[in-house]
Structure 1
Amino acid sequence: MHIKPVSVQLGEVELEEDLSDMQMNDLRNWLSENGFELLDDRKMVLVERVKNLIIEIIHGADRIDLTIKLSYLIQQKLSIDYNYVSSLFSNIEGITIEQYIILQRIERAKEFLEYNELTLSEIAYKLGYSSVQYLSTQFKKATGFTPSHFKNIKENARRPLDQL
């Protein structure tokens, strides 16, 4: 399409020059055909930036820094009032930022459980939970299973190669 990006990051592309209406329409169609969506509404873009930041924090770090509240971090990184972002996020996504953070933390916990390389205490620590019990409570609330039961289900779902 002869569109030259300056930078490409998770959920964001910065272009060398503005696109004409025709180019924008062609890009929108191409993205749609390939399972993507062009977000050119400023509010939607802001919500996507919040989601990407949360994913980066939770899935990218070895351990969440408990001394910094994620609400403060979001406000600082995006240079926008947290109350506004929180209200906008809830209206667009149908859940609060806090609920989204919990869902991301639980997904990360599932990954750790599936890899089976860390104890539950280590997982709780890495994800910034104050205790294993708190992680277990949130995990069960979100998935319907305790972390231990989830881990056992995953192990029981797989069959050793010599038993195939």
Structure 2
Amino acid sequence: MTTLFIKNMVCDRCILVVREQLEKLGIGIEQIKLGEVKTREQVSGETKQKVDLALTKLGFELIDDKKSRIIEKIKTLIIDLVHRRENDSKQNLSDLLSKELHHDYNYLSGLFSEVEGITIEKYFIAQKIEKVKELLVYDELSLSEIAYRLNYSSVAYLSNQFKKVTGLTPSYFRQVKEDKRKPLDKV
């Protein structure tokens, strides 16, 4: 069995595309989740190069070094936390990342900032703002329901952070909403 770490695998559609490509290459999949695939057999050498080439054409990238895998796991956890869990936990982000990745938060934070050029917190905020945009576009929830769902302490705090990041108020964004969202892997 081999574990492949894949950059830019950030949504359920990405999982489907990666699964399809690996099956086309005749690679059996034991388990697949965001950013990670466990294969039934060993994948190395020429087969690994074929996988890398096929995935690169689709905008994905195999990750081989330990630091890049940690960065990708941080991103995957944050995306999962913001976009898939419903007001799941009030747990501190630093505690969650340390627990899940088995590293001190200061190490994770320094590594992330060094490689990505932004802090983990700014990345987390960017993901939350993209989720707010999505919910505003759908126009099904009030601003206070959105604030609650994303664990903001108040609507005012959400509005201030939204305006700081986008330059628009949530109400104005809801009115204009066209072409204001970004794909998760571009955040």
**TM-score of the two chains, using structure 2 as the length reference:** 0.78
Q: Distance in 2 between matches of 1:60 and 1:20?
A: 32
Q: Distance in 1 between matches of 2:176 and 2:58?
A: 34
User: In 1, Cα distance between the equivalents of 2:82 and 2:46?
Assistant: 38
Alpha-carbon distance between aligned partners in 2 of 1:43 and 1:15, rounded to the nearest angstrom? 22
Q: 2:122 aligns with which of 95, 99, 120?
A: 99
Residues 6 and 14 in structure 1, CA contact (< 8 A), matched pair in contact too: yes
Change beyond 3 A, Cα 1:148–1:64: farther
* Equivalent residues in 2 for 1:82-97, closer than 5 Å: 82-97=105-120
* Aligned with 1:33 (options 57, 68, 81): 57
Q: Identify the range of structure 1 (56-65 vs 124-133) with the bigger mean alpha-carbon deviation.
A: 56-65
Letter in 2 for 1:5: I
Q: Identity of paired residues, percent?
A: 49
Structure 1 residues without counterparts, runs of 5 or longer: 156-164
SS of the aligned residue for 1:61 comes to coil
Q: What residue identity is the alignment partner of 1:88? A: L
SS of 1:102 mapped into structure 2: helix
Structure 2 runs not aligned, ≥5 long:
1-24, 179-187
**Structure 1 residue 33, shift from structure 2 partner:** 2.0
Q: 1:72-115 CA deviation, whole Å, 9 max, x = no partner?
A: 01111111111111111111111110001100110111111111
Name the amino acid aligned to 1:80: H
Match of 2:104 among 81, 85, 88: 81
Q: Measure, in 2, the Cα distance between the counterparts of 1:103 and 1:64.
A: 19
Larger radius of gyration: 1
Q: Is the 8 A contact 1:64 1:127 kept in 2?
A: no
Q: Distance in 2 between matches of 1:83 and 1:98?
A: 12
Shift of 1:154: 2.4
2:76 is aligned with 1:52? yes
Which residue of structure 1 lines up, in the alignment, with residue 7 of structure 2? none
TM (normalized to structure 1)? 0.88
What's the CA shift for 1:64?
4.9
Match 2:132 to one of 109, 113, 121: 109
Instruction: Extract structure 1 runs of 4+ deviating beyond 4 A.
Output: none
Q: What does 1:148-163 align with in structure 2 at a 5 Å threshold?
A: 148-154=171-177
User: What is the Cα deviation at residue 5 of structure 1?
Assistant: 2.0
CA deviation vs aligned residue, 1:38-79 (integer Å, no higher than 9, x gap): 11221111111111111111111221533x101101111111
Residue pairs, 1:15-26, within 5 angstroms: 15-26=39-50
Per-residue deviation, 1:141 = 0.9
